[in-house]
């Protein structure tokens, strides 16, 4: 004898399931996104790199400081990547879709242009330009790291 079962879900059960999915999305987002202190530190390092690069024109000491700053930036990224790997989270190094690749490229290109402009204008006597470029680079990096993941993919926040 077979009984027909109904798989009706109540409204409350559906709401609980949606809340559970949103909570899981929040946990996933928080475990993958860089913490605020790390975002600030990386943005400060990129801003400092902008200034130190301009100052390194013809100065061995500032060239060393710039290279140390660059190494610190790379170590910070690699450390964050390995911390996530140790948690079992594997980030894509390369974005998959074209839009994400364009966002990643444009952000990197603008940051590099600001750096190069600050170097060239500093050499031409505009000593204030590296400071302004550093503020722009700081803001750009902080915005991109808040809005996108490290590899340029938009981050989805759970409700």
> Per-residue pLDDT for the chain (159 aa), expressed as one digit of tens each?
555 555 667 778 778 877 787 777 666 666 667 788 888 998 999 999 999 988 887 778 888 888 898 899 889 888 888 888 887 777 766 777 788 788 888 888 999 999 999 999 998 999 999 999 999 999 998 888 887 765 455 555 444
pLDDT of residue 30: 64
pLDDT of residue 159: 47
pLDDT of residue 35: 80
Largest Cα–Cα separation, the chain: 93
CA gap 155, 86 in Å, rounded: 21
pLDDT of residue 158: 47
Task: Return the HEC string of the chain.
Answer: CCCCCCCCCCHHHHHHHHHHHHHHHHHHHHHHCCCHHHHHHHHHHHHHHHHHHHHCCCCHHHHHHHHHHHHHHHHHHHHHHHHHHHCCCCCCCCCCCHHHHHHHHHHHHHHHHHHHHHHHHHHCCCCCHHHHHHHHHHHHHHHHHHHECCCCCECCCCC
């Amino acid at each position: 004898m077979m009984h027909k079962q109904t798989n009706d879900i109540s409204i409350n059960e559906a709401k609980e399931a949606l809340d559970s999915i949103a909570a899981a999305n929040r946990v996933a987002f928080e475990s993958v996104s860089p913490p605020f202190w790390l975002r600030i530190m990386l943005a400060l390092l990129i801003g400092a790199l902008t200034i130190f690069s301009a100052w390194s024109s013809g100065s061995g000491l500032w060239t060393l400081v710039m290279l140390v700053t660059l190494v610190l930036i790379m170590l910070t990224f690699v450390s964050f990547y390995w911390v996530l790997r140790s948690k079992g989270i594997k980030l894509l190094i390369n974005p998959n879709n074209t839009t994400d690749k364009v966002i990643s490229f444009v952000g990197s290109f603008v940051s590099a242009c600001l750096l190069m402009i600050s170097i060239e204008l500093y050499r031409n006597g505009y000593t204030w330009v590296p400071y302004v470029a550093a503020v722009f680079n700081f803001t750009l990096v902080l915005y991109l790291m808040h809005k996108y993941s490290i590899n340029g993919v938009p981050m989805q926040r759970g409700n």
